[in-house]
Structure 1
Amino acid sequence: MRSNQARLNTGNVVPLIGLGTYSSSYDGETTQNAIHMALKMGYRHFDTAKIYGSEPALGKALMEAINNGVVKREDIFVTSKLWSSDHHDPVSALNQSLQNLGMGYVDLYLVHWPIKFKSWAEYPMPNEEDFEELDLKTTWAGMEKCLELGLCKAIGVSNFSTQKLQHLSDFATVSPAVNQVEMHPMWRQNKLRKYCEVHKIHVSAYMPLGGPGNFWGSTSVALRWGIQKGASVIVKSFNKDRMRENVGALDITLDDDDMINIEKLVEEKILRGDHLVNKTTSPYRTVEQLWDDEI
């Protein structure tokens, strides 16, 4: 029987297909309806973040489902993320997220970006005056405290390059369980995936379908590629037919020729992070510096 989950270095398991809850035109009721649909289709992994604004709607829908006996809390996997303005106090930030969710813990808490903003910058597009110097050692100590207090089952990072993971390993008492990054057939993350495999860090792919067009095949093919590479995939669609098609990726297999042909595609990163780069206040003067030339 084919497994639909991966085991983390904590011993916990993560479902291989997750539903992302970010939306550029956020609507709580639409999100709640999508969560209920997803549960009926078999989704058990749900991805949110403080900056998405979707924690309250996600929590409400999941708690309704739990209270109605549709699913048990231990059978769902909830991921949230530390926003860049909260690096000074991850414990308080996670407590706020848990209050938004109406839950006692999340299964995974991630550092959203390797960048720190001043505490007032609770918005996605920073101004030049919003940046602060990142002290990752202090941030990670706060993440480890979240784990120690039982506010989460695992901690990890997002948008970290190989070099930034190596820097983290210099002082981390607890190794990150997950690195959530952009990954799809046209941005394959070969170097990063090799590093993570050696160091037992699970890769979770956002934007796993890549850009518009999907000329390598169906969306299921793109998702299956990521799964066969050992990643979990976070898909962001509230369309019922697309949601069903996405979860169908668990039921197909790509053969060696498929995988080889995908390796031949020209790579292009979509989310470059240009908004986190400037010449004066950001710790990253160029996009290449943000990703340590893994771009």
Structure 2
Amino acid sequence: METKAASMPKLMYGTAWKKDATKDLVLMAVRAGFRGIDTAAQPRHYNEASVAAGIGEAISAGIVKREDLFIQTKFTSTSGQDPDNMPYDPNAPLEDQVHASVASSLRNFAFGTPEKAYIDSLVLHSPLNDIADTIRVWKALETYVPHKIRQLGISNTNLLTLNELCSNPDITVRPACVQNRFFHATQWEVMLRAYCRPKGITFQSFWTLTGNPELMKSPPVVRLAQSAQIDAVRALYALVLGLGGTTILDGTTNEAHMKDDLEIPGLVDSFSQSADGQSTWSECLVDFKALIGEHP
């Protein structure tokens, strides 16, 4: 019997650039309460095998079961790979590159039962240079849905490519998520997120802290932090989640911060529904939307 897919959490643990610390940090994140883990079959920036090792240790310790977790990895084309360390033959046809990459990820996330291995979400790391090649890769990924891969997504995309994946009649599996930078240079993806929202496509925000030092000091973030008695990091996260249809990639390496960050969704619910906090939350969210150019 096929295991029921886990739902995508509001906060996912991001594992980019964790290098030799990856296994221990992933185990720490799961212990802290993270149930969504993001990685990639791209050794240049990620260590997928160590991500799997950290999860495997958490499963062996009885902290979680596989079905409790939302595991997301990526297929990365040759342009984003280390030329000396790829999970596939760069000279092989695109479809074969996809199959080799997915096979390597499924081996990593087998956890002792290869026949039951699956991935909750597989993201195309970036569109390829040619839209026809992007479609070729996407259709190769479709062959794994819904059994070995439960959903597909795309990262580092523009609206034109996303619309092609959503409207092309040759495509049968539509994107379930888009993982893009959330910062000023992309205008906080206001238009792309507006496109995603009615289609039920989740926007996965990354660079949420690194790319937004100005937002961290902005009046709505400061006011919410003071009113809810939280720091600016968690106030910014709360407002990004408040935009709707969003999930945040959180890459902190601090265990205390992990636990604090995971409290944000519940804290927002309680604060925004309280007699004292309801109006403050609404006003902060309206001001935050105006600040990033998003209007009701």
Is TM more than 0.5 here?
yes
Give the C-alpha shift of residue 144 in structure 1.
0.2
| Residue number in structure 1 paired with 2:13 | 19
Superposed, 1:215-234 pairs within 5 Å as: 215-216=217-218, 217=221, 218-229=232-243, 230-234=245-249
Check conservation: 2:31, 2:58, Cα contact below 8 A. Answer: no
Match status 1:42 vs 2:33: yes
Partner of 1:33, secondary structure, is helix
Q: Determine the C-alpha separation between the residues in 1 that align with 2:261 and 2:69.
A: 18
Structure 1 residues without counterparts, runs of 5 or longer:
1-9, 117-131, 268-295
Partner of 1:50, secondary structure, is coil
Partner of 2:105, secondary structure, is helix
Structure 2 residues without counterparts, runs of 5 or longer:
79-87, 89-93, 112-116, 222-231, 273-280
Higher alpha-carbon deviation: 31-40 or 211-220: 211-220
- Bigger relative CO (Cα 8 Å, ≥ 6 apart): 1
Q: Determine the C-alpha separation between the residues in 1 that align with 2:176 and 2:124.
A: 12
Partner of 1:105, secondary structure, is coil
Match status 1:84 vs 2:77: yes
Higher alpha-carbon deviation: 225-234 or 133-142: 133-142
Q: Deviations over 1:71-92 (max 9, x none)?
A: 0100011100010127443222
Superposed, 1:55-70 pairs within 5 Å as: 55-70=48-63
Give the C-alpha shift of residue 193 in structure 1.
1.3
| Residue number in structure 2 paired with 1:99 | 107
Q: Determine the C-alpha separation between the residues in 2 that align with 1:266 and 1:172.
A: 33
Q: Rg larger in 1 or in 2?
A: 2
Check conservation: 2:234, 2:261, Cα contact below 8 A. Answer: yes
Match status 1:238 vs 2:232: no
Match 1:252 to one of 255, 267, 278: 267
Q: Determine the C-alpha separation between the residues in 2 that align with 1:55 and 1:183.
A: 24
Q: Letter of the aligned partner of 2:19 in structure 1?
A: D
Give the C-alpha shift of residue 184 in structure 1.
5.4
Superposed, 1:122-271 pairs within 5 Å as: 135-147=133-145, 150-168=147-165, 169-170=167-168, 171-183=170-182, 187-209=187-209, 210-212=211-213, 214-216=216-218, 217=221, 218-229=232-243, 230-253=245-268, 255-265=281-291
Check conservation: 2:75, 2:102, Cα contact below 8 A. Answer: yes
Q: Deviations over 1:262-293 (max 9, x none)?
A: 234367xxxxxxxxxxxxxxxxxxxxxxxxxx
Q: Letter of the aligned partner of 2:144 in structure 1?
A: C
Q: Deviations over 1:206-241 (max 9, x none)?
A: 122233462134111111122122201111111223
Partner of 2:153, secondary structure, is strand
Identical-residue share of aligned pairs (%): 24
Greater share of residues in helix: 2
| Residue number in structure 1 paired with 2:64 | 71
Give the C-alpha shift of residue 102 in structure 1.
4.1
Distance 1:90 1:136, change over 3 A: same
Partner of 2:67, secondary structure, is helix
Check conservation: 1:219, 1:245, Cα contact below 8 A. Answer: no
Q: Determine the C-alpha separation between the residues in 1 that align with 2:213 and 2:191.
A: 25
Q: Deviations over 1:141-199 (max 9, x none)?
A: 10101225x22111111122222111122131111111111125884322111111122
| Aligned residues between the structures | 239
Give the C-alpha shift of residue 139 in structure 1.
1.1
Q: Determine the C-alpha separation between the residues in 2 that align with 1:249 and 1:99.
A: 34
Partner of 1:146, secondary structure, is coil
Give the C-alpha shift of residue 200 in structure 1.
2.1
Q: Determine the C-alpha separation between the residues in 2 that align with 1:207 and 1:134.
A: 29
RMSD between aligned residues: 2.5
Give the C-alpha shift of residue 21 in structure 1.
0.2
